[in-house]
């Protein structure tokens, strides 16, 4: 089972990871981090293929993917 770790404090809600996820597994969450951004969260764990495109696209290194 793939595991997506989101470092919410690093996330600036740029939505690049959301835009590039081919499985549409990510969305903006409902929690606001200390910088005032709605951090990204995994919304469809069963659809995630651990391709790590989201992590590659994140300019703030807010995502880590484990296979």
Q: Taking the domains of the chain in order of start, what are their residue ranges?
A: 3-66
Identify the band that residue 67 occupies on the pLDDT scale cut at 50, 70 and 90.
Answer: confident
Q: Which residue has the higher pLDDT, 1 or 56?
A: 56
* Exposed e or buried b per residue across 30-62, where buried means at least 16 C-beta atoms within 10 angstroms of its C-beta: eeebeeebbbbbbeeeeebeebebbbebbeeeb
Nearest to 41, CA basis, from 2, 67, 15: 15
pLDDT at 1: 64
Q: What number does CATH give the domain 3-66?
A: 3.30.70.20
pLDDT tens, residue by residue, 6-64: 999 999 999 999 999 999 999 999 999 999 999 999 999 899 999 999 999 999 999 99
Give SS3 for 33. coil
What is the signed CA dihedral for 59, 62, 66, 67, rounded to 10 degrees?
Answer: -50
pLDDT at 26: 96
Q: Which two tokens stand for residue 35?
A: 């910088």
């Amino acid at each position: 089972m793939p595991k997506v770790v989101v470092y919410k404090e690093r996330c600036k809600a740029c939505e690049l990871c959301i835009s590039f996820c081919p499985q549409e597994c990510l969305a903006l969450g409902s929690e606001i981090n200390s910088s005032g951004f709605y951090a990204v969260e995994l919304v469809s764990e069963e659809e995630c293929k651990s391709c790590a495109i989201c992590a590659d696209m994140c300019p703030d290194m807010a995502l880590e993917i484990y296979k």
